[in-house]
Structure 1
Amino acid sequence: MTVPESREEKILARRTHSPVWRAVHALGSLDLAMLLLITLTGVCAAATFLESGFSARVARAYVYGSPWFNLWLTLLCLNLICSAATRWPWQRHHAGFVITHAGIIVLLGGALLGRARGFEGSVDLSRGATPATQVLLDRPRLTVESPATGQLFSTPFDPEVRTPRPDRPRFLPLPDSDVQLVIDGYTGSSIEKTELTPDPSSPNPGLVLEFTGPFGNEPIRIPLVLNSASDSRADLGSQASVEFVPALPKSSRPSSVPTFRETQMILAKDPAQPIIHNTSGQPSGFHFFLGSRKATDSLELEILRPDGSGEVYRLADLLNRTMDDFSGTKILVARYWPNLTLQDGQPASDGDSPENPAVLVMLEGNLPDAAPSRLTLSPGPIPGTLSFLGESSSPTPATGSVRPGEIFSPGWKGWSAKLVSLENNARIETITLPAEKGGARPGRPALHARLRSPDGNSGAARWIASGTSAVLTSSNAASRIGFGLELQSLPFSIRLDSFDVPRDPGTDEPANFRASITFADAKKNLEIPAQLEMNHPATFPPGLLPQVTGLSYKFSQAGWDPQDLNRTTLQVLHDPGWLLKWSGSLLMVAGIFSMFYLRRGPQSQPSR
């Protein structure tokens, strides 16, 4: 009689006689699993340091998105599958083991699917603007124009992964051409400057001025071009302007200085509501505050000038005395009522106790010239010279002529100007330069690039900031090169209807961010309004099924502009592997539970 083979004997027999099963047992071995897990643990730890020391893009390029990392994950999945297959035929006590391995495989599959098909980005929305249909991703790209056909080509290019340097440039061949794009520099922060460039094709002259003022030793450089709608005028803040015109105008400054004469009744208990009466001219802009620091102290009067400066005086020192303020204003405290009351419609004092003090202040003076200072220039009567007219608060304008390299006074107090250069034919060009380290304002990343011909000659190099493009030339080719972040199209559009920032009571601190948006699907002729705020994102398509399956797009509040409440920035998250990740996690929990609570019962010993 044939004795039935035990399960262990069957497994040993197929492993001995079948090459396929030998491969399955080799791939599902515990030694291979430990090797893969230890390697992945070390690599992920190194990737954490890469991400903290450099950026998430560097860690993604060298580790998480690299081919060898994907191969390692594939081997781990294969090891899990083969490890479960070596137990075939499965018995009841294998359920936890198999379910746990299946959960890990499903979880890894969801992670790979989410990385391949999902994305995380941002979208800027403005009220009244065209609905957005694209999301900005943190994936730098180069857009290159073919010199032969003019067709545009786009390729991933992350300068942080392998930073180009002059001694280690990166080369990219241009499509349909033997010309190379050479990228030999990168900066994480750039600035834009306007420069005057000689241009024989331009019919207009141009100039460069340098202004030195009382606010620092760093000169302010301004280029101007004649007969240009945008480049013939420049402003130095709100207090001065410079303009290049064909001919000088006549001085338009008023011959007389505006004056004022007014009275103010100042109430100690209501200083924000003075009773002002202008007897002549315009309001003075002066403010007064009456009071005392302690109940036992004598009364004081604070004088606040229009420019924000001021002093505090004892009321007794000013009463019935005319003070000549350094601003040119005469100030007289003409009356004082310790306890102001009205008697027959006239102010009077009910006793000498300062229970409701008030004063009457009389002012007379000249107002500062509110018109901004102006410098106007025009071509001079002699070639190579400029005529200028400088106007300020002074009644006498500054006039004269100047040559390149000469310094002159624009007629503004504390200011001087220098004519740096004068070109007969010129245009203004905006160029990108690396920002100085420790600059006050962050700038955009930029690449330094040039074109190189097959004979080794290179064209002019220039910096290209993120989000911009520039035309590069060589001896035999020209191509427009663009650098920026990748745009991901959405299958729908999103529109901002309103944006509100509630504040904490009594403060200017934001308490919440509320945005009203509208999703629109043109194919389905569908519009769905939605509301989102902090910790309460909006999803589209709506409903439980798209969210559970990971087919929805989640929008969360990400940024705002305190100066413009008609715009906001939303974070966009799309993860089609969401369902697999959660399913895999639940399977792992179920498998581990089974291994602990569904153990194999005690086996009976065979009879001897």
Structure 2
Amino acid sequence: MIMASRFTRFLGSIRLAVPLLVAIATILIWATVYESNVGSATVQREIYKSAWFGALVFLLAVNLGVSTLSRYPWRGPRKIGFALTHWGLILLIAGAAAVIHLSSEGMLLLRTDGGPNNQIRVEGEQLQVAAPGQATRAADVVIRPDGSVSPQHFAGLFLQGYSDQAVTTVGFQPGGNVDNLAIQLTMGSDRMGQTLRRWLAMAPGDYRQLDIGPAHLELVQAEDEAELARLLDLTDAKAPNLLRVVAAPDQRLFYGAHGAQGTTVGEWRPGEVIAPGWADIQISLSDRIDRARVQRRVVPLTAGAAAPGESFPALQVSRQDGSTLWLPWGEPVSWQGQDGLQVAAFGPKLLQLPFYVTLDDFIVARNEGSESVAMWTSQITLWDPHTDTAVQRSVWMNHPTWFRGWKLAQASWNPGDLNQSTLQLKREPWWVTALTWSGSLLVVLGIGVMFYGPAIAKRLRRRQPSPQPPAPASDDTQPDSIPETVHP
């Protein structure tokens, strides 16, 4: 019994409260710094939603509750204020825990020409895998700062790693079904100590020309001898350094090179090296494929390497046969498996809303006499398919709207595209909001009672009239006056 009493007193003592507060404050400061490096989703998962952090916060709530109950009965302004403040803090802790574990929040991208949308982008990444005869399976992908991922195995795929910078490289292989000329050029410079290999191809169209610094390279097809002569005439070339490779009607290749040292023209065979007159640069025709097929590969960039084009995140996976491939962000990848065609996609985590949102119009109001923006407003239509009801609302900065338990607020807009608007959607149960507001109100009320209650009570006591002392009781047997003594 004595041990239980001591343990109870310790649970409500300041000796437990101070270390708990110091530990929680230190964790919150560290989590803020950690979040700037790994993102909100990782911090939520590894800290705020973890069992150990929840245990610390729960222990703090127990400390507050035991400390409050140990002072019962709460008599006097200071004890009443103390109790109100502590109960308010307990409600705030409960509300914060409910927000972390029960609320949902995400971004909704809308366009006036895009139709209704009911999928919001939430924090985190997701891997989806579709196989013949099976429903599409999805799993949340946890990406750690060192590039490792979890889960390590999902839907027959082994997750190997992650890169936040990857690029798509295009190569060409023989075996195409149609005529598609592709040539590989190797450019070298002894002075710069650098060698580059690049492809030119008739298809895709983006590979018909290429710019490398001030040099412009292109591949064209001549329909007849007259057009061949015209294409090889570089007298009026606009580019200071130009290399034009022309495919003749008889399948031979010719080149025309223009630079500061003049123009050179000739037939070009595989393996031959030409000097286009650009410093000491030499270019060789490394490979030629007449029926080329496109081969795309996703390649991660090494740390510090400059991206040759637009980079994107990618997830590395390996299949059961041991082959490895990279899944680019937001782009499905398919392959032929043992049971048929399989598809995997790595991309953002999406949450489906119970209603649809349509952007009817996006209005930007500007200050009179200037181009500065005064306000922007999203006019939206909210449609609930379950009840077949639709309502029209307007959302602008600091003026959200609510629908079916969701809060819709204006998040951002694109000054270069006024047909686009981004809304922030947040959902939390009504009782969670009630907990938070009630806790805040009790804390403010309790602090006010503790600090101002004694003075107010003292002032009220002064205003009460002082009690009058009771009058002395009269003796009816005693005469009003003493009779005068008569002497004989």
Aligned to 2:400: 539
* Count of paired positions: 440
- Aligned-partner SS, 1:157: strand
Gaps spanning 5+ residues in structure 1: where?
Answer: 1-14, 258-366, 603-608
Structure 1 residue matching 2:450: 3-state secondary structure: helix
The CA distance in 2 between the partners of 1:171 and 1:138, in whole Å, is 17
Partner of 1:50 in structure 2? 34
Contact 2:381/2:393, CA 8 A, preserved across alignment: yes
Match in the other structure for 1:594: 449
CA distance in 2, matches of 1:191, 1:66: 35
Q: Deviations over 1:381-429 (max 9, x none)?
A: 4xxx64357699xxxx9976433333569999x9986533223553213
Listed as ranges, the matches of 1:257-406 within 5 Å are 377-378=246-247, 381=250, 386-388=252-254, 401-406=267-272
Amino acid in the other structure paired with 2:95 = G
| Structure 1 counterpart of 2:152 | 172
Letter in 2 for 1:181: F
Give deviations 1:6-55, integer Å, cap 9, x for gaps: xxxxxxxxx769x7x88765644443333422321222222233234554
3-state SS of the aligned residue for 1:433?
Answer: strand
The structure 1 residue matched to 2:93, chosen from 90, 108, 113, is: 108
Q: Does 1:498 align with 2:359?
A: no
Decide which of 470, 476, 479 is 2:333's aligned counterpart. 470
Find the residue that maps to 1:552 and give its secondary structure: strand
Matches within 5 A, 1:405-484: 405-407=271-273, 418-423=284-289, 425-435=291-301, 437=304, 439=306, 443-453=311-321, 458-459=322-323, 461-471=324-334, 479-484=342-347
- 1:493 deviates by 0.9
Identity of aligned residues (%): 22
Judging changes above 3 Å, is the alpha-carbon distance between structure 1 residues 400 and 578 closer, same or farther for their aligned structure 2 residues? farther
Equivalent-residue separation in structure 2 for 1:573 and 1:249 (angstroms): 68
Partner-residue secondary structure (3-state), 1:492:
strand
Q: How does 1:142-161 map to 2 (within 5 A)?
A: 142-145=127-130, 149-161=133-145
In structure 1, the partner of 2:439 is: 584
Conserved 8 A contact 1:125-1:496: no
1:187 matched residue in structure 2: 163
Say whether 1:78 aligns with 2:53: no
**Letter paired with 1:155:** A
Instruction: Say whether residues 1:517 and 2:379 are aligned partners.
Output: yes
Going from structure 1 to structure 2, the CA distance change for 1:210 and 1:141 (only over 3 Å counts) comes to same
Q: Is the 8 A contact 2:124 2:140 kept in 1?
A: yes
2:483 aligned partner: none
- Indicate how the Cα distance of structure 1 residues 465 and 531 shifts in structure 2: closer, same or farther if over 3 A, else same: same
Contact 1:389 1:400 in 2 (8 A): yes
Task: Select which of 553, 566, 578 maps to 2:419.
Answer: 566
Write the letter of the residue equivalent to 1:514.
W
Q: Which residue of 1 aligns with 2:391?
A: 527
Equivalents in 2 of 1:220, 1:499: separation in Å?
Answer: 50
CA distance in 1, matches of 2:10, 2:43: 32
What CA distance in whole angstroms lies between the structure 1 residues aligned with 2:399 and 2:286? 57
In structure 1, what is the equivalent of residue 477 of structure 2? none
Task: Give 3-state SS (helix, strand or coil) of 2:59's partner.
Answer: helix
Cα distance per residue 1:213-261 (max 9 Å; x no partner): 9xx9886834425xx5757745769x97845659557529989x9xxxx
What's the secondary structure of 1:37's corresponding residue? helix
Indicate the SS of the match to 2:144: coil
> 1:248 touches 1:389 (CA, 8 Å); kept in 2?
no
Deviation, 1:568, is: 4.2
**Structure 1 residues 64, 568: closer, same or farther in 2, change over 3 A?**
same
State the alpha-carbon separation in 1 of the partners of residues 287 and 48 from structure 2: 54
SS in structure 2 at match of 1:428? strand
Could you tell me how far apart the structure 1 residues matched to 2:399 and 2:209 are?
45
Note if contact 1:451-1:472 (Cα within 8 Å) is conserved in structure 2: no
* In structure 2, C-alpha distance between the alignment counterparts of 1:442 and 1:513, rounded to whole Å: 33
- For residues 22-101 of structure 1, the aligned pairs below 5 Å read 27-91=11-75, 93=77, 94-101=79-86
**Pair 1:135–1:595, CA change in 2 (3 A):** same
1:221 alignment partner in structure 2 = 198
* Matched-pair contact (CA < 8 Å) for 1:190–1:434: yes
| Letter paired with 2:288 | L
Answer yes or no: is the 8 Å Cα contact 1:387–1:402 preserved in 2.
yes
| 1:405/1:109 CA distance change after superposition, 3 Å | farther
Following the alignment from structure 1 to structure 2, what is the Cα–Cα distance between the partners of residues 501 and 242? Answer: 47
1:207 matches 2:176: no
The answer to whether the 8 Å contact 1:207/1:419 transfers is no
**Distance change (3 Å), C-alpha of 1:462 and 1:101:** same
Q: Is the 8 A contact 2:49 2:101 kept in 1?
A: no
Alpha-carbon spacing, 1:368–1:424, altered in 2? closer, same or farther (3 Å): closer
State the alpha-carbon separation in 1 of the partners of residues 115 and 205 from structure 2.
26
Structure 1 residues 528 and 90, CA gap change in structure 2 (3 angstroms): same
- Superposition pairs for residues 117-136 of structure 1, below 5 Å? 117-136=102-121
Offset, 1:484: 1.7
| Residues 446, 136 of structure 1: alpha-carbon distance in 2 compared, 3 angstrom cutoff | same
Distance, in Å, in 2 between the alignment partners of 1:410 and 1:517 is: 59
Displacement of 1:376 in angstroms is: 6.7
8 Å contact from structure 1 (residues 16, 22) kept in 2 = yes
Q: Report the AA paired with residue 422 of structure 1.
A: R
Asked if 1 retains the 8 angstrom alpha-carbon contact of 2:378 and 2:421, the reply is no
The Cα RMSD (Å) is 4.9
C-alpha contact 1:556 1:570 (8 A) present in aligned 2: yes
Partners of 2:37 and 2:210 in 1: CA distance: 43
SS in 1 for 2:227: coil
Cα deviation, residue 181, structure 1: 0.7
Residues 31 and 472 of structure 1: CA distance in aligned 2, closer, same or farther (over 3 Å): farther
Task: Normalising by structure 1, report the TM-score.
Answer: 0.58
Contact 1:450–1:462 at 8 Å: present in 2 too? yes
Partner Cα distance (1:223, 1:578) in 2: 61
Q: What residue in structure 2 maps to residue 251 of structure 1?
A: 227
Matched-pair contact (CA < 8 Å) for 2:48–2:100: no
AA at the equivalent of 2:183: V
